[in-house]
Amino acid sequence: MTLGKNAGGLYWMFRYLERAENTARLLEAGWYIALTHANNGTNEWESILTTAGMNEAYLEKHESFEAASAINFLLRDKSNSSSVMSAIEAARSNARMVRTALSGEVWEAVNECWMELKAALARPVTERNLHETLMMVRNRTSVVRGALHGTMLRNDIYAFSRLGTFLERADNTARILDVKYYVLLPSASFVGSSIDNVQWEVILRSVSAERSYHWLNGGDLTPQGIAEFLILDKRMPRSLAFCCTKISQYLGLLEEEYGQRQESQIQAERICARVSSASVEAIFDEGLHEFLAEFLADAARLSGLIETDFKFYG
């Protein structure tokens, strides 16, 4: 049985790695929007910061939403606890704490990720080298994930690692959809317009779902279709339905390992049932924002229950 402190270290190590990658993906989406809407670029950076939950922290240091300031705040600002570099450092710190629970390959992948990004982010990132830097973030975090998949036993250590990944991923997808609906769309008059369609497509790009969505739906780009894909499609590895299924699966594995059913497992099954029984029509009738806000609140409660049930800080 993994000690609670180690379980928490594994869980948060992979939450932070996923957070770094998600921030990089979101930043790339903002960069793309700014390139395609040059006249309103600064507004798009505000949207990206709002989606990442960093708007207030950003405004404490900056007066306007300029590209250079936003990019470096999201990527490398040490005062921003959710920047990519801060997340990678937190992941490495947790990895050091649980090093004996990790395979040598996983530890080396985390350490190399930290060293390469520390060097790359030692200087301000410009729009010229932004794409290359973001690719590095995605590639290095993918190497860690690959090492986990390829070298770790499918036991409680693996389960806690995957729980952190999928809770963070579900939270990210829900926030991106929610902010798109209320922030990225300038006005109700833009619904269905080419501007609206471009912005929805950017949302797909930010979760690496653009190509798979078009494979399944052709050129039929609609808010309802995209919401259904990112919320309900269990084939899509960043959808809420997929993440919920995986969270329940790994909590079930922990039940088998420890011989005890926990309150967190009941909460996960409740969330899964709500998502699985939903239809996109019902979600839009209820209100997309209301559905996502409830999902985010349920996910936050689930995270707290996991920490309590498995005594992360006990």
Segment 24-41, tens digit of pLDDT: 988 887 787 777 665 554
pLDDT at 98 (0 to 100): 96
Q: Please indicate, yes or no, if residue 2 is contained in any of the structural domains.
A: no
pLDDT grade for 190, boundaries at 50, 70 and 90: very low
Q: Among residues of the chain, what percentage have pLDDT more than 70? A: 90
Residues 29 and 127 occupy one common structural domain: yes
**Above 50 in pLDDT, residue 68?**
yes
Residues 126 and 48 occupy one common structural domain: yes
Residues 133 and 271 occupy one common structural domain: no
Q: Please indicate, yes or no, if residue 28 is contained in any of the structural domains.
A: yes
Residues 143 and 184 occupy one common structural domain: no
Write down which residue in 136, 152, 168 finishes a domain: 152
Q: How far apart are CA 13 and CA 8, in angstroms?
A: 8
Residues 205 and 291 occupy one common structural domain: yes
What's the mean per-residue pLDDT of the chain?
Answer: 89
Write down which residue in 125, 152, 179 finishes a domain: 152
Q: Please indicate, yes or no, if residue 3 is contained in any of the structural domains.
A: no
Locate tokens 């991106």: which residue? 176
Q: Please indicate, yes or no, if residue 4 is contained in any of the structural domains.
A: no
Least confident of 36-50, 60-74, 150-164, 210-224: 36-50
Residues 49 and 140 occupy one common structural domain: yes
3-state secondary structure of 199: helix
Residues 166 and 212 occupy one common structural domain: yes
Q: Please indicate, yes or no, if residue 17 is contained in any of the structural domains.
A: yes
What sign does the CA torsion over 174, 106, 210, 250 have? negative
Q: How far apart are CA 199 and CA 209, in angstroms?
A: 14
pLDDT at 257 (0 to 100): 92
3-state secondary structure of 183: helix
Number of domains into which the chain is organized: 2
Overall average pLDDT of the 148-163 stretch: 97
Query: What domain range includes position 40?
Result: 11-152
Q: Please indicate, yes or no, if residue 170 is contained in any of the structural domains.
A: yes
Residues 214 and 258 occupy one common structural domain: yes
Residues 201 and 185 occupy one common structural domain: yes
Closest CA to 250 of 156, 187, 110: 156
pLDDT grade for 181, boundaries at 50, 70 and 90: low
Closest CA to 91 of 137, 25, 57, 155: 137
Residues 89 and 172 occupy one common structural domain: no
Residues 21 and 100 occupy one common structural domain: yes
Q: How far apart are CA 217 and CA 258, in angstroms?
A: 43
pTM for this structure?
0.91
Residues 269 and 307 occupy one common structural domain: yes
Least confident of 99-108, 152-161, 202-211, 293-302: 202-211
Instruction: Name the H helices within 3-83.
Output: 4-36, 41-51, 55-59, 67-75
Write down which residue in 114, 134, 152 finishes a domain: 152
